[in-house]
Amino acid sequence: MKLAQFVKFREEKFGGVLFETRSEKVFTLSATGAAVVREIAAGAADEAQVTARLKTRYSDASASLETDVREFLSSLKTQGLLVE
């Protein structure tokens, strides 16, 4: 799992942005969304790794984290921003 070829990620004070540079579409991310994308950019290979890293980083053992990550990654894939 990785960001699509033409997608660039930059962290911002409010969270981050994903810029699909071919279509020049910009997607803003909340701080939580940016945390997920940061893990992907850092090499997390799949949903389980992203979730595990976030649980460790934020000491969050809640089940909702897994659901949120799954939904978010699915949304990124639907938008063509994330590829396997």
Partner 1 sequence: MPLPPEAPASASSGLSAPLYVAWQLTNECNLACLHCIEESGPGKAFKDELSDEHAFAVLRQIVSAQVPYLCFSGGEPLAHPNFWELAEHAVSNGIGLKIESNGHLLDREACRRLAAIGVQAVQVSLDGAGPESYGRLRVRGRWESALAGILNLREACVPVEINFSPTRFNAHEIASAVDLACELGAVGFYTGRILRAGNAQKSWDLLAPSEQQYAAYFNILREKTEQHKGRMRVCFHEMGLTEELKYRLKSPAALFIILPNGKVKLINALPFVCGDLRTQTFPEVWRAFQSGWTRPEVARFVADLEKDPALISRIHQWVELN
Provide the binding-site residues for partner 1, judged by CB under 8 A.
6, 8-10, 12-14, 17, 19, 21-30, 32-33, 36, 68-69, 71-72, 75-76, 79
* Closest of 5, 42, 27 to residue 72, by C-alpha: 27
The CB-of-2 to partner 1 minimum distance in angstroms stands at 14
Nearer residue to partner 1 within complex by CB, 32 or 49: 32
| DSSP code, position 81 | S
**59-73: burial string, b at 16+ Cβ within 10 Å, e else:** eeeeeebbebbeebb
